[in-house]
Amino acid sequence: MLSFFKDYKKFAVVFAIISVVILALIYNTLNVYQPLNIYQPAMVDEQLVDSTIQHQRKYHKIANFSLVNQNGKTITQDDYKDKIYVADFFFTTCQTICPIMTKNMADIQKEIKDDDEVMLLSHSVTPEIDTVAQLKRYAKEKGVIDSKWNLVTGDKKQIYELARKSYLAVKDFGDGGPFDMIHTENFMLIDKKRQIRGFYDGTNKDDIERLLNDIDILKEEDKQ
């Protein structure tokens, strides 16, 4: 009888070890690194994409740009070189979704303010109203940190083309006039290769949490 219990004890120990190993393997399999999508125009709602690129399925990147920020500084792609960044489209006089989007972008800023790899970029869709002085007032009011977050204005045609041909983020206004656009609540996550890696509802707190998590995934991807 004593021998039986000794044998049973050995079996129990071996079984426990094997169980731990199996559970660890299952956990690692379920939590294997999953890269984020690389979004192409053909993957996005056609309403948000210029008709000339709606069927493009590869090689999409954010185009070069030259715009002016809240301090009157010219901002180009070079200011975002080797950076992960979050982009959106807004206007300072918007009273609907923009205040919520700006508040959530400010919350992202708090999370990434000490992270040299990550920045923010907000484009005005009404550059004729959002002058440098107007953007500066808005930036001060919303707590924008100049080194982390650029609010940009400039040539309306360039902003329109960036919105619809690069970021795939706004709707055409139709008969509203040349280069008029209806911005959406979308935040776009851009990687260091100028590729779109995610779209998020900038008015939704759960999506903001998902965005912050995806930034961490991108940073891990860079280490691979």
- Minimum mean pLDDT among 130-134, 138-142, 161-165, 170-174: which range? 170-174
Percentage of the chain exceeding pLDDT 70: 83
Is 36's pLDDT higher than 90?
Answer: yes
The residue length of the chain stands at: 224
The DSSP secondary structure of 142-200, one letter per residue, reads HT--TTTEEEEB--HHHHHHIIIIIS--EEE-STT-TT-EEE-SEEEEE-TTS-EEEEE
| Spatial separation of the C-alpha atoms in residues 39 and 18, rounded to whole Å | 42
| Residue 3 Cα to chain centre, angstroms | 64
In which band, very low, low, confident or very high, does the pLDDT at 83 lie, cut at 50, 70 and 90?
very high
State the residue for tokens 């954010």: 62
Cα dihedral sign for 14, 15, 20, 24?
A: positive
What pLDDT, on a 0 to 100 scale, did the predictor assign at position 16? 53
CATH class of the domain comprising 41-223: alpha beta
Judge whether 60 is annotated as a binding position: no
State the residue for tokens 């690069």: 166
The amino acid occupying position 47 is: Q
Judge whether 94 is annotated as a binding position: yes
pTM: 0.84
What pLDDT, on a 0 to 100 scale, did the predictor assign at position 8? 53
Instruction: Say which residue, 53 or 12, is predicted with more confidence.
Output: 53
Judge whether 98 is annotated as a binding position: yes
- Minimum mean pLDDT among 3-17, 65-79, 204-218: which range? 3-17
Is 24's pLDDT higher than 50?
Answer: no
CA-nearest of 149, 131, 142 to 98 is 142
Domain boundaries, the chain: 1-32, 41-223
What pLDDT, on a 0 to 100 scale, did the predictor assign at position 143? 98
Average pLDDT of 68-72?
98
In which band, very low, low, confident or very high, does the pLDDT at 203 lie, cut at 50, 70 and 90?
very high
Average pLDDT, the chain: 89
Residue 219 neighbours by CB distance under 10 Å: 15
Could you give the C-alpha distances from 76 to 65, 109, 117, in angstroms and in order? 5, 20, 17
